[in-house]
Amino acid sequence: MTGEAHTDSSLRQLSYAEAIREAMDIALAADERVILMGEDIGVYGGAFQVTGDLVHKYGEDRVMDTPISELGGAGVAVGAAMTGLRPVFEFQFSDFAALAMEQIVNQAAKVRFMLGGAASVPVVMRFPAGSGTGAAAQHSQSLEAWFGHVPGLKVVQPSTPEDAKGLLLAAIEDPDPVMIFEHKILYKMKGTVPDGHYTTPIGTAAVRRSGADLTIVATSLMVHKALEAAATLADEAVDAEVIDLRTVRPMDRDTVLASVRKTGRLLCVYEGVKTLGVGAEVSAMVAESDAFDFLDAPIVRLGGAESPIPYNPELEKAVVPQVPDILNAARQLAGGTV
């Protein structure tokens, strides 16, 4: 984490949503080029009330409601970025990014390359993502791997309020398009957040728990489930290291490989569909490196089921990894029964 000096924040607790709002407030105040765009982000305060009352503080010229057209709104944000502004565009749900893929994948991601570096697209797109709210198949997906596949895009998944603020500020200051996937379940989660301006480096993972027996690489909400599982495993004399990937692209190769060399076992936990997901890239990264020689067991991927997200609460839980699933996989991996 880099930035200005902060006052002691040991007692300063913000929710994940409040931390994001504070980051946007800081950016708006510091740089007139920063604007917010999105559906219902003005007086309504955003689909998840993240932008809050920023429209009253900065006015409708800088906190702009867009029409109900993801393709159109994203296109305006990309165009604004190319003219020198620094737009932060909020989708109501990450699923709706499917409507804007032309602007994100074929325009924002490629402009710098196609113009030989003469222009950049410093746009940030925020995606409320993930399951657990009963929003069913078209409002509950984890699509970060889609964007991680595209050269020219940076993709982050903050798991804590501190990183939600720091990564957003880093993204706003970045010269390239940054996609931020914010898990909807995390919006109300509280945590320590430094005051003032700081940035969390894009492309750097965090070791949330040190361990010697097993590496669990997780993303977003799954980081918290992995930590809960790791606490139970500790009571069973299994010492799990938990790595919060934080950035899907560019991925922190060094932190992951160093952990695998130490523990000799790797479990990848992510909410997106298992096939071709983030864990597949982590697994390949390890398999193609010298860390492969340190493995004492096959790599295990624990991802979402090959299914749309159901509406039924019990079925919804069943199609994405839960703490018992992580425990079962970790026990088998640590015991050499995979």
Which is catalytic among the residues 18, 22, 39, 70?
Answer: 70
C-alpha closest to that of 286 among 309, 262, 266: 266
Residue 243 CA to residue 226 CA, distance in Å, equals 9
Q: Which of 39, 90, 139, 271 is catalytic?
A: 139
Known catalytic membership, residue 70: yes
What element of type H or E holds 68? none
Quick one: tokens of 304? 């979402």
Grouping H, G, I as helix, E, B as strand and the rest as coil, residue 1 is coil
Q: Which of 84, 72, 15, 4 is nearest to 38 (CA)?
A: 72
Q: How far is CA 93 from the centre of its chain?
A: 14
d(CA 178, CA 201): 12
DSSP states of 232-263: HHHHTT--EEEEE--EEES--HHHHHHHHHHH
Residues annotated as catalytic are: 70, 139
